[in-house]
Structure 1
Amino acid sequence: MDPERLIYPLMKYVLVGPAMRLAFLPTVSGLRHIPRTGPVILAANHLAFVDSFVLPLMVPRRVHFLGKHEYFTGAGARGRAIATLFRSVGAIAVDRSGGRAALDALDTSARVLEGGGAFAIHPEGTRSPDGRLYRGRTGVARLAMRTGAPVVPVAIEGTDRVQPRGRAVPKPGRIALRIGTPMDFTGRDAGTPRGRAAREVTDEIMEAIRGLSGQEYVDDYAPRPENGS
């Protein structure tokens, strides 16, 4: 058996999960909207680095998400420990450099869904610099239309307070997750140029997230940090 599959329940139910619940006292609503089996895309806003751990550890399924290749290639015992931590909570390494990076990420995500898994994505593509919700990138729509997986919108709240930009370790504080109803985009690109369909679908997903989060919406892409994180 894959050793990371053995580590996963330890992380979620014994170590990281309980510690996160104790530190953040999370409230989670709408869990019933996440299918217990079968492919599903969890599309969430992105306020802090810790979001990528909060979502997989707070929902009742093993959730995969993409992580920077650098998180898996660190040297020494510390590097190996970080890589094991990321893999154990569902992260999949992806190289974001080079011309094929976006296609490779899409292919990797599609394989998770085609295998019946749950996949989490932040359509904004990077953390919000100011707490507002920014325009979504179309990868989430292309993934949904390619695989037929339903999209479940998710609003994360409070993680920007427990882990402001520049803070490596989150501090205790309250966070919340609000989970919306599944959205089905099967066939949305039939008879419509794929690029236009992807844009329309992405905008609908972002509007659903905005409705859950109450964030002010910015019809522009969020600026990426200079360090690429």
Structure 2
Amino acid sequence: MLYWLLKYVLLGPLLRLIFRPRVEGLHHVPATGPVILASNHLSFSDSIFTPLIVPRKVTFVAKAEYFTGKGVKGWLTKMFFTGTGTIPVDRSGGRAARAALDTQLTVLRSGGIAGIYPEGTRSPDGRLYRGKTGVARLALESGAPVVPVAMLNLDEIQPPGQLIPNLARVRIRFGPPLDFSRYAGLAGDRFVERAVTDEIMYELMELSGREYVDVYAQQLKAQPTPTTAPATPVAA
């Protein structure tokens, strides 16, 4: 109930008025039946505007930290994600990540829409990074088509770490559905899952026009920030 209140009464109309979303290719999202929306991830706002634009309910996963914040901000964030049906995922992997995928499989098997960010985290610099194979596992186990979704400028509207978005027109592009039925029965084959994931990332690269970097974004974020060495005095 809160999902629809936020979308059509409390938040959606205001966001549409302020940010005037320009959307291309929305007709590629099937009107019925299971579908996976696979998107690049530029901003916190990605998880707001995609459900706002798509007429059907979209169920995303989000990092577990969004559900455990402290204070008023933490409580509001938790209520927002809980109210919009977002599933918390432990990005350390293992059983917790598998549980999140299983929950999204339930959504797909009931004919719903599952949203996922194959990169697993927000891009640190706007480029597109290597996808994790969870999106492939989801597609192969469910048999659902994958619609690539390109966020075109949300990193300019709300850069990482910025609380108040800049006022600009949101731009989103949906691509044609990708059918992976030729790989039916091959879920769990790591070579097949890598091939499926790479195909999805290629489509996102084409749709978004963003440079592709074949490393995981999380690995890049984990690297220490280089420090500038002090200048060596020059003898007179």
The two structures have a TM-score, normalised by structure 2, of 0.85
Q: Which amino acid aligns with 1:158?
A: N
Code of the residue aligned with 2:195 in structure 1: it is E
Q: CA deviation at 1:175?
A: 1.6
Q: Verify: 1:223 aligned to 2:218, yes or no.
A: yes
Shift in alpha-carbon separation, 1:192–1:22, aligned structure 2, 3 A? closer
Q: Secondary structure at the match of 1:164?
A: coil
2-side partners of 1:190 and 1:92: how far apart? Answer: 26
Q: Which amino acid aligns with 1:164?
A: P
In the other structure, the counterpart of 1:22 is 17
Could you tell me whether the CA contact under 8 Å between 1:17 and 1:58 is conserved in 2? no
Q: Bigger radius of gyration, 1 or 2?
A: 2
| Long gaps (5+) in structure 2 | 223-236
Residues 61-80 of structure 1 mapped to structure 2, 5 A cutoff: 61-74=56-69, 79-80=74-75
Q: Tell me the equivalent position of 2:143.
A: 148
Distance 1:201 1:26, change over 3 A: same
Equivalent in the alignment of 1:157? 152
Give TM-score scaled by structure 1 length: 0.88
Q: 1:33 maps to which residue?
A: 28
Shift of 1:45: 0.7
Cα RMSD (Å): 2.1
Question: Residue 3 of structure 1 aligns with which residue?
Answer: none
Count of paired positions: 221
Relative to structure 1, is the Cα distance of residues 162 and 78 closer, same or farther in structure 2, using a 3 angstrom cutoff?
closer
User: Conserved in 1, the CA contact under 8 Å of 2:90 and 2:97?
Assistant: no
Match of 2:89 in 1: 94
Residue correspondence of structure 1 range 129-140 to structure 2 within 5 A: 129-140=124-135
Identity of aligned residues (%): 55
Gaps of 5+ in 1: 1-5
Of residues 175, 184, 190 in structure 1, which corresponds to 2:170?
175
Match of 1:84 in 2: 79
Could you tell which deviates more after superposition, 16-25 or 183-192?
Answer: 183-192
Distance 1:175 1:195 in 2: 36
Q: Structure 1: which amino acid aligns with 2:167?
A: P
| Contact 2:140 2:187 (8 Å CA) reproduced | no
Amino acid paired to 2:205: R
CA distance in 2, matches of 1:191, 1:40: 19
